[in-house]
Amino acid sequence: MKKLNHYVIRGEIELLSGTRIGGSDDVLQIGGTDLTCIKDPTTGKPYIPGSSLKGKMRSSLEKHLGKVNGREPCGCAKVDCPVCRVFGPHKNTNHTLGPTRIIVRDAPLISGEFAIENKTESVNRRDTGAAEHPRTVERVAAGAKFALEIGVQEFDMDRDFAYTNHKEEKVTGHDALLEVVCHCLDLVEDTGVGAGTGKGYGKVKIEIQPETKTTRRNRRGAGAPAATAR
């Protein structure tokens, strides 16, 4: 197994609705303390953790492909499974797919200086419909923008990996890997990020800089043109 290339996808995530980042998708916990946004401890500004974006990308693709097995992420480890190839087979250490291909960086805030807003939420009693337990939650306001950066590693074993692009054309190799990642980002636009997406929170627009989709750094001794023989 040999790493051939490292691609970097860059872009921007813009919030189209208030977003709770770092909270859980569970129903509001009574007396819960998980009501603040995740913030960078050095700048005090909110950010989108790479792990949470990656999780949303993965679960969105699994739903789209019908690879949802209860609450567990896909761990089938089949050579043609885009989820397992790109994100790694869940809880499956005995596979031949190689390392996880995707590296999702934390997305820092790039605009929206006063991006935090407070919103009052309450839980409605199912029997009477009365609002109970009002609480204030922190959200990142619509309009805030975050910088997206995703690394994609290509290995020699990806040569035969195929995926269908948005034009219904079959692409292979690194084109297929990049297509899977971009497809996941499209699906995240449909579903949203953070907690409370069912209530309309976390709607996002994701713009990918087209030229960066193929930004490639040749690895020393891999993928680069052979050194001139002396």
Which stretches of the chain bind Zn ion, using CB under 5 A? Answer: 74, 76, 81, 83-84
Residue number with CB closer to Zn ion (23 or 82): 82
Residue number with CB closer to Zn ion (48 or 84): 84
- What number of helices (H) and strands (E) belong to the chain? 3, 11
Q: How far is the CB of 81 from Zn ion (least distance, A)?
A: 3
Taking the CB of residue 172, how many other CB atoms lie within 10 A of it? Answer: 14
SS3 content of the chain, % helix, strand, coil (to 5): 25, 35, 45
Q: How far is the CB of 10 from Zn ion (least distance, A)?
A: 27
Contact indicator for 106, 78 with CB cutoff of 8 Å: no
Pairing verdict, β 170-172 and 116-124? unpaired
Contact indicator for 6, 153 with CB cutoff of 8 Å: yes
Structure tokens at 25: 């998708």
Residue number with CB closer to Zn ion (76 or 110): 76
Nearest to 174 by CA among 195, 158, 150: 158
Residue number with CB closer to Zn ion (34 or 80): 80
Residue number with CB closer to Zn ion (84 or 107): 84
**How many angstroms separate the CA atoms of 9 and 205, rounded?**
15
- Burial label for 6, CB within 10 Å (0-12, 13-18, 19+), is middle
Residue number with CB closer to Zn ion (39 or 95): 95
Structure tokens at 89: 């087979």
Contact indicator for 189, 205 with CB cutoff of 8 Å: yes
Q: How far is the CB of 174 from Zn ion (least distance, A)?
A: 20
Q: How far is the CB of 84 from Zn ion (least distance, A)?
A: 3
Q: How far is the CB of 162 from Zn ion (least distance, A)?
A: 15
Q: How far is the CB of 159 from Zn ion (least distance, A)?
A: 19
